[in-house]
A and B are shown apart, each in its own frame.
Chain A
Amino acid sequence: MLRDALMICRRDLRIERRSRVTFNHVLPFVLTVVMLFAFALDADTTMLRRASGGLFWVAVLFASNTITQRSAAIDRPDGIPDALRLSSLSAPGMFLGKSAALFIQLTLTEVVLAAAIIVSYDVRFEGIALILMSIPLATISVAAVGSIYGPLAAGFQGRESILPLLMLPVLAPVLLAATNSFGVAFGTTVGPGWRWVALLGMLSAIYVVAGMATASALIEET
């Protein structure tokens, strides 16, 4: 299963490296979002700093929509779904591979986004460990949910609007927990930061297990 996951992940990343969807479309998008908020709130750095956690994760969720659609589109055309069914690849392995490729692309996006926010919003860190734990856990959730709903939505007309309608409600708890964790880490809110991290860990485990459990049905039916 891990071998299959590695194969799928490498293939998706190779295709991404050639098509450059993340690099050419998603990164400019998230940077524009950061700039627009900076313009909208102008010199009110206190407001920017307070909103930075939520803004970061909202931008990540919007970016994940584009990345997920691209990821799902890779396996749609020209007989590829049938070829995958005829292969010996394990369904959970394929799910893990797609999720891993999404995770890497999202992490790259988050690094650029975080750098832009730190520079533009004058963010100060009071809990770097919280941030370092929150980012991968939340990103695992986003990647897993994207790998579940991406192939589902890809079969519909109007998939561009259906995918966020499916994904975003499921990811609302992740947004809540990650934003609160960042708030504590940035010193803009007080509260049990590690409890939010624990919630993120629990959510990521649930989404990964759910994805592995439903992968076979997804591959057969989509």
Chain B
Amino acid sequence: MEPVLKLRAAVALLGQFPVLAGIDLEVSDGERVLLEGPNGAGKTSLLRTCAGLIPVTSGTALVLSCDLATDRRSVRPLVGLLAHTTGLYDDLTPVENIRFWADACRADPDDAVAAMDRVALATRLRSIPTSRLSTGQRRRVSLAAMIVRRPRLWLLDEPHAGLDADGRDLIDSLIGEAAASGATVLFASHDLDRATSVASRVVTIAGGVVTADTAAALPSGRPEGPGHVA
């Protein structure tokens, strides 16, 4: 079976700077891969590259069978990216935001309410301008906007950041549900204690390359991913 993500000596440049400097990584269906590493290691760049937002200038980069080196736009509708920023319109309400993004991604806008229920966004918050929401509430709205598009590859950049304890638990359960439904999750985090308990595999990145790749120590009963030592 073809891997969801296959990078071989992939180089990605931002201007003249190689944010990915010949990275090798292969991820299979249903894996929950934690990307860890110091600030500036290339975690966010890797996620953005996988989303087709940063061009791959050399090497092989296949994501969901799309060749990022030749046509990175084709992968974009297939992935969901939860970035540091929320990607929400301040003057629209959470419902309007989620419906708009669902519509823009050819998903069903009627799923918006179910998505907000899933991220436990209080009903009273759904019809006020998004600008009035707290950082954590906005994060939940962006998460709902991502869920509603039903991506095959989840790309989460510091998904626990800005969330309260319930919110962090919610992220953990969503990652588990996504993987159980056949989606693949790639997420970057500095909250290693929590993140490693969710991941099936931990990939360490430094200087734009993979420096370690290990199976996560999973709680009993959780299926183990196909990680290996690099």
Tell me the count of chain B residues lying within 8 A, CB to CB, of chain A: 27
Q: Using a CB-CB cutoff of 8 Å, which residues 74-102 of chain B contact chain A?
A: 76-77, 79, 81, 83-92, 96, 100-101
Which B residues have a C-beta under 8 Å from some C-beta of A? 48, 51-53, 76-77, 79, 81, 83-92, 96, 100-101, 103-106, 129, 145
Contacts A18-B129, A83-B87 known; A7 to B79 CB distance under 8 Å? no
Q: Is A108 interfacial (CB-CB < 8 Å)?
A: no
Of the four ranges (under 10, 10 to 19, 20 to 34, 35 or more), the interface on chain A belongs to 20 to 34
Residues of chain B within 8 A (CB-CB) of A7 are 100, 103-104
Which residues of the partner chain A approach B53 to less than 8 Å between Cβ atoms?
A: 82, 85-86
17 contacts between A and B (CB under 8 A): A11-B89, A11-B100, A14-B91, A14-B92, A14-B96, A18-B91, A78-B88, A78-B90, A79-B84, A79-B85, A80-B87, A82-B81, A83-B145, A86-B77, A88-B77, A88-B104, A88-B106
Say yes or no: A74 contacts B100, CB within 8 Å: no
Which one of A15, A79, A86 lies within 8 Å of B79 (CB-CB)?
A: A86
Choose among A74, A82, A89 the residue that contacts B89 (Cβ–Cβ < 8 A). A74
Q: How far is the CA of A7 from the CA of B52 in the complex (A)?
A: 24
- The winner among A74, A77, A87, A88 for most chain B CB atoms within 10 A is A87
A19 interfacial by beta-carbon distance below 8 Å? yes
Given A7-B104, A18-B129, A87-B105, are A78 and B96 also a contact pair (CB < 8 Å)?
Answer: no
A contact face: mostly helix, strand, loop, or mixed: helix
**Contact B101–A19 (Cβ < 8 Å):** no
Tell me the complex Cα distance, A84–B103, Å.
12
Q: Which of A2-53 contact B (CB under 8 A)?
A: 4, 7, 11, 14-15, 18-19
Taking a contact as CB atoms under 8 Å apart, the answer to whether B89 and A80 are in contact is: yes
Expressed in whole angstroms, the minimum distance between the Cβ of B100 and any Cβ of chain A is: 6
When distances are taken between beta carbons in the complex, the residues of chain A under 8 Å from B52 are 85-86
